[in-house]
A = this chain, B = another copy of it.
Amino acid sequence: MLTKAQVEAARQRALEYFEKASIVLTDEEKANIEVADFGLGDLENTGLQLVTYVNTDRYCAKEMVLFPGQTCPEHRHPDRGGARGKQETFRCRYGEVYLNVAGPETKDRVSRPPQGDEEYYTVFHEIRLLPGEQYTLEPNALHWFQAGPNGAVVSEFSSTSDDESDIFTDPRIRRIPQVEE
C-alpha cells in the first residue's frame, strides 16, 4: 500500500515528465494524478502514473507517465458479460516505451521483467515505440510495457476503460489502488 507521501511524491515526479512532453493539465488533473503500484509496493519498478481525460460508455482517453525503467505489468482485457474486451492504442509522446505482446520472442530485446517477478511475464515480442509511434492492441491480448532510461509519456486511446475486469498474470496484483489514510 502506498502512503500519501509516496503518492504525492510520484505525482510531483510525473508532472516533470508531462512538462517534458509539453502536455498541459488543469490544476485539478495535476492534483489527482492516479498513482498505481498494482498492490506490489514497489512503485519504482512496477507502477504507472496516469490522468484519465475522459471515460464514457463508448471511449476512453488517458495520458500515462512511466518513470525510467518502470514497468506496467503483464495483463489482458477480457470480454465482459458478453461485451467485447477493451481495445486500446498506445501512442508514445515522449521518451521511449517497450511494449511486449504475444509473438516470436524478440532477439536482443531491451525490456526485462522486474527482478524477482520473471515468472509472471510470458510474452516477449517487443515493440519499441518512439515519440509519434503507436500500436493498437486487440481485446484479450496479453501485454506489458516498460519505459526506457529517460522515462516515457504515452497516450492511450481506447474503448471504455474498466480496470476492475483486467486480468494480470501475477496473481498478487491488485489494480484498484489502495492508499494509506
Contact = CB atoms under 8 A, between A and B. Distances in A.
Interface of A: 21-26, 29, 53-54, 56, 58-61, 84, 87, 89, 91, 93, 131-134, 136, 155, 157-159
A53 B93 contact: no
A157 B61 contact: yes
8 contacts: A25-B132, A54-B134, A54-B136, A59-B60, A59-B157, A59-B159, A60-B157, A61-B91
Given A22-B22, A24-B93, A59-B157, 18 more contacts: A23-B93, A24-B131, A53-B91, A53-B157, A54-B89, A54-B136, A54-B157, A56-B87, A56-B136, A58-B58, A59-B60, A59-B158, A59-B159, A60-B157, A61-B89, A61-B91, A61-B157, A157-B157
In this complex, the member of A24, A59, A61, A84 whose beta carbon has the largest number of chain B beta carbons within 10 angstroms is A59
A61 B58 CA distance: 13
A53 B89 contact: yes
Contacts of A131: 24
Nearest to A91: B53
A80 to B, nearest CB: 14
Contacts of A29: 132
A89 to B, nearest CB: 5
